[in-house]
């Protein structure tokens, strides 16, 4: 899935379950939703300039070093490798429980939503990693989504629309 879709789905899930109480937790949720794709070599997580307002001088200068590291990670482990192992999400949850900082739970939650969403794509994720790198999905192959397909775009648009309506209602009725 594309980064924007991962962010939208994580925000919807967070809003539905128990909305984060502070901006750091919301940011952790978004970073967690994008973090597994740091191994893609060009995903939204590896473009810091996309996160900053246009008026920030030299913001695009941040992209080059981060993208170099992201491409190095991709060359070393491949996309949908160790960063897509559910064991990493379990480790993040364990760390979140130990640290007890609210934002760490949201980082783990965002990471988990990413893995669940990717398991709905044709590629799936390596559910048994590191024991096996074989990728599997949660749905039969013929029902899985293709990244960037019209179906994914509809899911993304629906998620962002729901978030907009939810925010409007929250502001209107408190």
Question: pLDDT by residue (tens digit) across 59-98?
Answer: 888 888 888 888 898 889 888 899 999 999 999 999 999 9
Question: pLDDT by residue (tens digit) across 25-37?
Answer: 999 999 999 999 9
The dihedrals phi and psi of 136, each to the nearest 5 degrees, come to: -135, 155
Q: What is the sign of the dihedral through the CA atoms of 122, 14, 12 and 51?
A: negative
Give the pLDDT of residue 78: 84
Give the pLDDT of residue 174: 62
Is the pLDDT at 51 greater than 80? The verdict is no
Dist CA 13 CA 5 (whole Å): 12
Question: pLDDT by residue (tens digit) across 102-115?
Answer: 999 999 999 999 99
Domain ranges of the chain: 3-173
Across the chain, which distance is largest between two alpha carbons, in Å? Answer: 50
Question: pLDDT by residue (tens digit) across 118-154?
Answer: 999 999 999 999 999 999 999 999 999 999 999 999 9
Give the pLDDT of residue 130: 92
Is the pLDDT at 155 greater than 70? The verdict is yes
Answer whether 2's CB lies under 8 Å from 118's CB: no
């Amino acid at each position: 899935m594309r980064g924007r879709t991962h962010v939208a789905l994580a925000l919807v899930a967070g809003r539905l379950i128990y909305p984060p109480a502070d901006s750091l937790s919301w940011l952790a949720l978004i970073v967690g939703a994008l973090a597994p794709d740091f191994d893609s070599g060009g995903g939204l997580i590896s473009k810091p300039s996309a996160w900053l307002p246009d008026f920030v001088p030299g913001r695009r200068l941040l992209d080059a070093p981060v993208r170099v590291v992201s491409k190095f990670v991709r060359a070393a482990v491949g996309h949908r490798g160790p960063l897509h192992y559910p064991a990493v999400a379990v480790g993040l949850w364990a760390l979140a429980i130990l640290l007890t900082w609210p934002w760490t739970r949201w980082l783990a939650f965002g990471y988990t939503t990413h893995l669940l969403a990717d398991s709905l794509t044709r590629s799936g994720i390596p559910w048994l990693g590191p024991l096996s790198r074989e990728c599997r999905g949660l749905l039969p192959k013929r029902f899985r989504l293709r990244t960037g397909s019209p179906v994914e775009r509809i899911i993304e648009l629906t998620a962002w629309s729901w978030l907009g309506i939810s925010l409007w209602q929250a502001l209107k009725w408190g």
